[in-house]
Amino acid sequence: MNRIVYVNGDYLPEADAKISVFDRGFLFADAVYEVTSVLDGRLVDFPGHLARLHRSLGALELTTPLDDAGLEEMHRELLKRNRLTEGAVYMQVTRGAADRDFAYPASSEPGLVAFTQAKALIESPTAAKGIRVISVQDIRWARRDIKTTQLLGPSMCKMIAKKAGADDAWFVEEGFVTEGTSNNAWIITADGAIVTRNLSAAILHGITRAAVMTYAEAAGMRVEERPFTIAEAQGAAEAFITSASAFVTPVVEIDGVPLGDGAPGPVTKRLRELYIAESRARAS
Ligand code: PDD
């Protein structure tokens, strides 16, 4: 790959981009991030991602070296320099470099890195086929509402799913699904309600989740925010996941049990089309 990436004020070829071995993002996962999808060369719901970034930063007493206008300009510059029309921009803010100590350093320069990833988001073969998920115990920490770079739990569980022949895992805590390894989990009940877990520290407050709720309700669909079990999901009419990189992607099998006829369902397809149309219209 030959991308231009952003590192602490500079745009550099990716091979030349370096950070300190003392960066607390590297040593402690003392860093937060955002992934903003890109459609037609434009950013999807960047204000939503900025708002969540500030929430994550606030929870960890972190600051960013650029203000909101600077962050937006940096995103646009990366799109331009990499000629990205479809995919995502990954941005990470770290507490910066300091001698290793569990306490936050009294003063450190926050770090900021960002890069683009090209990906076919609309014509996604995964979305056309749907994914198979398995359930795993939610082994992550208790502040999943903060979007930190502590991603080893999700990464391990994604591998457990892959080794079991599935595509992804849904985390279960105290009998209820929290979310997917890198996405929010949803079911559609037999009577047409669209159900996703209510917001709390147990899940990431997905930007795609919020948008799908708004668009679904505006289209006259009923959305319920509540926990659900794997058994309820296996008996549901349809299921799907949402994230900035998956948009709305159907789930066709849970722990070996096919949903409906085992193919992506009509309501999920409609929600995906709705999400893509609205996101395209509003991207800026
Ligand atoms: N993941 N839940 C978790 C645990 C996530 O990591 C993500 C996003 C989501 C969906 O959030 P959003 O709709 O704002 O993307 C839910 C990103 C895409 C990632 O880590 O690559």
* Residue 135: pLDDT band with limits 50, 70, 90: very high
Among 222, 225, 128, 211, smallest CA distance to 176 is for 225
Distance, CA 170 to ligand 1 centroid (Å)? 13
pLDDT at 107: 87
Q: Which fold has domain 125-282?
A: D-amino Acid Aminotransferase; Chain A, domain 2 (3.20.10)
Q: What are 77-117's pLDDT values in tens digits?
A: 999 999 999 999 999 999 999 999 999 999 889 999 999 99
pLDDT of 57 above 90: yes
Instruction: Convert the pLDDT of each residue in 170-179 to its tens digit.
Output: 999 999 999 9
- Residues lining ligand 1, Cβ inside 6 A: 35, 179, 182-184, 204, 206-209, 242-245
Inform me whether the pLDDT recorded for 75 exceeds 90: yes
* Ligand 1 atom at minimal distance to the Cα of residue 244: 15
**CATH 3.40.50.150, applies to 4-118:** no
Among 158, 211, 213, smallest CA distance to 181 is for: 158
Q: Residue 119's pLDDT is what?
A: 97
Mean pLDDT to the nearest integer, 121-131: 96
| Burial 39-69, CB ≥16 within 10 A → b, else e | beebbbbbebbbebbeebbeebebebebeee
Q: Where are the domains of the chain?
A: 4-118, 125-282
| Percentage with pLDDT > 90 across the chain | 99
Q: What percent of the chain has pLDDT over 70?
A: 100
Task: Report the catalytic residues.
Answer: 147
